[in-house]
Amino acid sequence: MPAIVPALVVLGIFYLGYRHYSSYLARRVYGLDAQRATPAHTMRDGVDFIPTNKHVLFGHHFTSVAGAAPIVGPAVAAFWGWGPALLWITLGTVFAAGVHDFGSIVVSVRHRAQSIGTLASDVITRRARTLFLLIIFFLLTLVNAVFAVVISNLLIANPAAVIPIFLQIPLAIGLGQYIYRVRSSALLPSIIGVLVLYLSILLGMAFPLSIEPLTSALGIGERATWVVVLFAYTFVASQLPVWVLLQPRDYINSHQLFIALGIILLGLLVGFDVIQAPVVNDVPPGSKHWFPFLFITIACGAVSGFHSLVSSGTTSKQLAKETDARYVGYMGALGEGSLAVASVLAVTAGAVASTTEWNRLYSSFSAASGGATQNFVEGVAGFANNLGLPVAYGTVFAAVVVVSFAATTMDTGVRLQRYVVQEIGSTLNIRPLTRNIPLATALAVLVPVAMALLPGGGEKGYTFGVLWQLFGTTNQLTAGLALAVIAVWVTKRRRNPVAVLVPLVFLLVMTTWALVINMLEFIGQGQWVLAPLDMIIFVLAIWLIVEAGLALRRAWNDRTSEPEPEAKLDES
């Protein structure tokens, strides 16, 4: 089948989802009010709380949530065939991710932009907050460590991408200064920034950079050196006011999404590439079945708990109008879903010229996992070549896109981890952790650094070899927690919670099912690192189910209308 056909079908469904379903959620489920003052106005501090243009905020939100995961997960899940992968991406994005991301922003905004962990305490129970803090800390540690390894591997494999990636930092800072001081639209300056970024790819191709001299000086491996450099950068970047680097770089990266998707779609149309993978793959005996593991492998790109951390951690603090949550949250979910669709098509049509070649790349689940990112890069390069761009340039372009998204997620992830550390400090009454931002940031950095540098798992490191298998389940469990908070809040406001309850129940069933299967396998294989971690997550999942069920029952039995707040936006 020509790859352009399923691409257009899915994007058409996304359009209908935004136009109709997100409108239903805004009016009938969340009850948005454009005149209600948001925390960005009432708590404005010029650092974290800043009323932000919805297009700029969309750029920050989208690029913060769309890291490497919506590329890697779908590229791996193509192992089961492109049919199940695209089906879950489509339904998950419209009916789960959109509800989850949109709702996380709204509930946080209605509660003074509190994090989803604090909201769990207010909306469900104090025990739920403890549960959230445990899962969030573990999830963010995995996210930051995994993305550091992904970026390191890509920069090692594509040294021509080093100059463009590092040039993006001063470009973003200059853009941020211009927007903040001139108070003008960011559209034209950011487009110029993207053009400069892509011109710098030619410079990177002429002068590919290796980190080997620094590696020799530090006496550690090349991948480990990149990990240290990346976390040193995020230690500084995550403490800067959001308008200095995070927002303008995210706005540049949001353009990259549309450019990359445009190249993929136009490349598909011009080249009329045919999908070489089967609709449903006849996987080798002994392989895991796509049901339930597809729904864990594709987390980001269908529904992801990490998004609730971004929505309630940074996005809700910058929302200028409550009604902007629909555009930022639901459209952000559609953007990541589109990236996931592009990933599936890149590895099933762009990266391979024949079914035989695809069968070789996807001969086993481990083979699919090991080559996922590079398969995507080569697939995008193939689509770009259909438009006349050299394969070498297209390869670096794709690497820059992936690294840009992953680096932004690392920046946001470390910032969010700092918030979690401060919350833990507040819970335990450790004042230095709550007041000393550099100290809290240092703790947020050191744990994932240690994890990323642990030995084992071959060339891809301990994080991929041992802990990556738990990333999906932890991420989906976090999504379940966020949906539980949203469902209880909606129920208390006398609104129909079905739109939230359906994805909540589905995620909990899939997550616990996969956890049980993995746990039995880990015990049988004598994996005494994975087995205990899997057991811990399983206990937390059961705990979540009990807490959510009790809270929903209480909310249903004692529903009250939410009073209108006194604070309103000043339109003068």
Amino acid (one-letter) located at 278:
P
Residue position matching structure tokens 């540690």: 141
Determine the Cα–Cα distance for residues 380 and 386; give it in Å rounded to an integer.
Answer: 10
- pLDDT digit of tens for each residue in the chain (572 aa)? 899 999 999 999 999 999 999 999 999 999 999 999 999 999 999 878 999 989 888 877 887 787 778 998 999 999 999 999 999 999 999 999 999 999 999 999 999 999 887 888 777 777 777 777 778 888 888 888 888 888 888 899 899 999 999 999 999 999 888 887 877 777 788 889 999 999 999 999 999 998 888 887 877 888 889 999 999 999 999 888 877 887 788 778 878 888 998 999 899 999 999 999 999 999 999 888 999 999 999 998 999 998 998 899 889 999 999 999 999 999 999 999 999 999 999 999 999 989 999 999 999 988 888 788 889 999 999 999 999 999 999 999 999 999 988 888 788 889 889 988 888 888 788 888 888 999 999 999 998 898 788 665 444 444 454 566 678 888 898 899 899 999 999 998 889 999 999 999 999 999 999 999 989 988 998 877 678 878 988 888 888 788 888 888 888 887 755 544 444 554 43
> What token pair was written down for 471?
């990333």
pLDDT at 464: 55
Determine the Cα–Cα distance for residues 192 and 179; give it in Å rounded to an integer.
Answer: 13
Strands (E) across 237-286 are located at none
Q: H or E stretch including 211? A: none
| Residues forming beta bridges with residue 52, ordered by sequence position | 319
In Å, how far from its chain's centre is CA 137? Answer: 16
Say how many residues make up the chain. 572
Determine the Cα–Cα distance for residues 296 and 469; give it in Å rounded to an integer.
Answer: 9
b/e code 359-369 from CB counts within 10 Å (16+ = b) = eebbeebeebb
Domains and CATH numbers, the chain: 4-557 (1.20.1740.10)
Close Cβ partners of 196 (under 8 Å, ≥ 6 residues apart): 167, 171
| Residue 566 three-state SS | coil
In Å, how far from its chain's centre is CA 305? Answer: 8
- Angstrom distances, CA of residue 511 to CA of 287, 486, 487, 537, 539: 18, 19, 18, 10, 12
pLDDT at 560: 57
Terminal-residue alpha carbon distance, the chain:
57
pLDDT at 168: 93
Is-contact 54 320, C-beta < 8 A?
Answer: yes
Determine the Cα–Cα distance for residues 368 and 283; give it in Å rounded to an integer.
Answer: 12
| Residue 13 three-state SS | helix
| Residue 183 three-state SS | coil
Determine the Cα–Cα distance for residues 344 and 90; give it in Å rounded to an integer.
Answer: 12
- Angstrom distances, CA of residue 293 to CA of 230, 431, 469: 31, 42, 11
The Cβ of residue 474 has, within 10 Å, a number of other Cβ atoms equal to: 29
pLDDT at 455: 61
- Angstrom distances, CA of residue 31 to CA of 110, 267, 342: 11, 41, 33
Tell me which DSSP letter residue 318 carries: T
Is-contact 282 76, C-beta < 8 A?
Answer: no
> What token pair was written down for 69?
């995961």
| Residue 390 three-state SS | coil
Is-contact 330 105, C-beta < 8 A?
Answer: no
b/e code 519-529 from CB counts within 10 Å (16+ = b) = beebeeeebee
pLDDT at 564: 45
Q: Per the confidence metrics, is the pTM higher than 0.85?
A: yes
Nearest to 537 by CA among 560, 558, 523, 516: 516
Tell me which DSSP letter residue 80 carries: G
Tell me which DSSP letter residue 93 carries: I
Is-contact 362 78, C-beta < 8 A?
Answer: yes
Q: Per-residue DSSP letters for 98-130?
A: HHHHHHHHHHHHHTTT--HHHHHHHHT-HHHHH
Close Cβ partners of 479 (under 8 Å, ≥ 6 residues apart): 96, 100, 299, 303, 304, 305, 307, 308, 507
Determine the Cα–Cα distance for residues 472 and 303; give it in Å rounded to an integer.
Answer: 10
pLDDT at 466: 55
Task: Report the alpha-carbon angle 561-504-305, nearest 5.
Answer: 100
Is-contact 345 138, C-beta < 8 A?
Answer: no
pLDDT at 461: 45
Tell me which DSSP letter residue 316 carries: G
pLDDT at 141: 86
Determine the Cα–Cα distance for residues 424 and 414; give it in Å rounded to an integer.
Answer: 15
> What token pair was written down for 52?
């932000």
Determine the Cα–Cα distance for residues 440 and 415; give it in Å rounded to an integer.
Answer: 10
Determine the Cα–Cα distance for residues 149 and 301; give it in Å rounded to an integer.
Answer: 20
pLDDT at 459: 44
| Residue 45 three-state SS | coil
Tell me which DSSP letter residue 564 carries: P
Nearest to 489 by CA among 124, 6, 32: 124
Nearest to 478 by CA among 28, 72, 100, 211: 100
